[in-house]
Amino acid sequence: MTQHADVVVVGGGQAGLAAGYHLRRQGLDFMILDADTAPGGAWQHMWESLHLFSPAEHSSLPGRLMPAQPGETYPDAGHVVDYLTDYEKRYGLPVQHGTRVGAVRRDAGGLLVEADTGIWLAKAVISATGTWSRPFLPAVPGRSVFTGRQLHTVNYCSPADFAGQRVVVVGGGNSGAQIAADLALDGNAHVTWVTQRPPRFLPDDIDGRALFDVAAARRRALDAGRTDTGGLASLGDIVAVPPVRAARDAGLLTAKPMFSRLTASGVRWDDGSRAGADAIVWCTGFRPALSHLAPLNLRGPRGHIPTDGTRALGEARLHLLGYGDWTGPASATLIGVGRPARDAAREIAQLS
Ligand code: FAD
């Protein structure tokens, strides 16, 4: 039996919850379908030592400040899960956990949302599926030849899994720097950190608060037709969160350039030098999880769906929320997703 709603939100992480908050304020009838069996989105799967790069009061969804975590300036991932769990409950958001959406299709009456628990017909859909379920691994020669363990950021848990091992951490972004620091500070693994270009640490006094300000200023400049300031990339790539700073200052975070290939027992550089490895941790980023939207045929360059704000250019009843700056400045952050969620809900309320 097909169920009906004004709006179906696909994904119940922070972006889906922010959407729910604003859909409720618009008086719309909606359902949030979420593949995870528990609240918290990707935060429930992150590695043990991960902390936010902004203080709690700068990491809040609309309507409710994230409380401080006792003893921590930068809350850990467990604290974010608790906050999102409470947020879902406090606002009575209708989230159906353990429900995966396989496809969204056009139908005479609206958009048909095919989930593994049933079918929904909606006047509009907000896709908020994040990127965590689509880890990206680069095509590096020899990847199938290496006989050790290969894992991605999404599989990394703690240094205890690598005690006594030689580990190569690949990636010059925040995940790469934090995981390399986590392993190096623990001191029980031999770590080689590899980055495509020399690592660029942001100044120590810049954390997520400043990053959000830069993203917002960039958006204002672009909207006003002024020159692109380059956004966050103009400042650096790596937030010097306390463990990264500690490892860097102890001389434990010096990066080698990217190797040219994997061998059976490790990695090899162009100049013929080698490093043996028991494990490679690929901290090489993510792609948006959009396969459920394939039937709508909307994919543009780089696997993104072209949008105006959050609205898909090729399908006015579809909005995309979270994912990255392409769906709104800082929309893939806790503090940044509120505004695009509000705009999406307003636009949907105006659909007739
Ligand atoms: P997710 O949290 O991934 O939630 C998506 C939800 O959609 C999941 O629950 C998933 O089960 C569900 N889903 C996926 N596919 C389907 C489907 N087909 N059907 C139904 N449900 C589906 N941001 C900050 O503000 N501060 C930080 O300090 C910070 N640190 C970060 C550190 C790391 C390592 C990473 C990767 C990101 C960080 N971010 C940070 C960015 C961002 O806040 C998180 O990535 C956040 O999880 C994004 O939320 P989301 O709701 O868009 O996606």
Q: What residue's CA is closest to ligand 1, atom 36? A: 132
In a domain, 210, yes or no: no
Reading the block at residue 227, the tokens are: 């020159």
**pLDDT of res. 1:** 87
Pocket-forming residues, ligand 1, beta carbon under 6 Å = 10-16, 33-36, 41-43, 46, 52-54, 59, 100-101, 128-130, 132-133, 175, 208, 289, 292, 322, 332-334
Q: Which helix (H) or strand (E) holds 83?
A: helix 77-90
Domain of 25 in residue numbering reads as 2-133+286-349
Mean predicted confidence (pLDDT) in 35-63: 95
- Give the pLDDT score at 171: 97
Domain edge (last residue) among 282, 312, 340? 282
Report the relative pairing of strands 274-276 and 149-152 from DSSP bridges.
unpaired
pLDDT at 237: 83
- 248 and 124 within one domain: no
Same domain, 11 and 119: yes
pLDDT in tens, 162-203: 999 999 999 999 999 999 999 999 999 999 999 999 999 988
Binning the chain into helix, strand and coil, the percentages to the nearest 5 are 30, 25, 45
| 118 and 161, same domain (yes or no) | no
231 in a structural domain: no
Coil vs helix vs strand at 41: helix
Residues 196 and 306 in one domain: no
- Counting ligand 1 atoms within 8 A of each CB, the residue from 9, 32, 34, 321 with the most, and so the one to mutate, is 34
- Residue 144, classed as helix, strand or coil, is coil
Looking from the CA of residue 42, the nearest atom of ligand 1 is: 2
Backbone φ/ψ region at 130: left (φ over 0), alpha (ψ -120 to 50), beta: left
Query: 267 and 161 share a domain?
Result: yes
* Contact predicate 35/100, CB 8 Å: yes
- 110 and 166 in a common domain: no
Return the higher-pLDDT residue of 154 and 208.
154
Q: Best mutation site among 60, 87, 129 for ligand 1, i.e. most ligand atoms within 8 A of its Cβ?
A: 129
Statement: residue 233 has pLDDT above 60: no
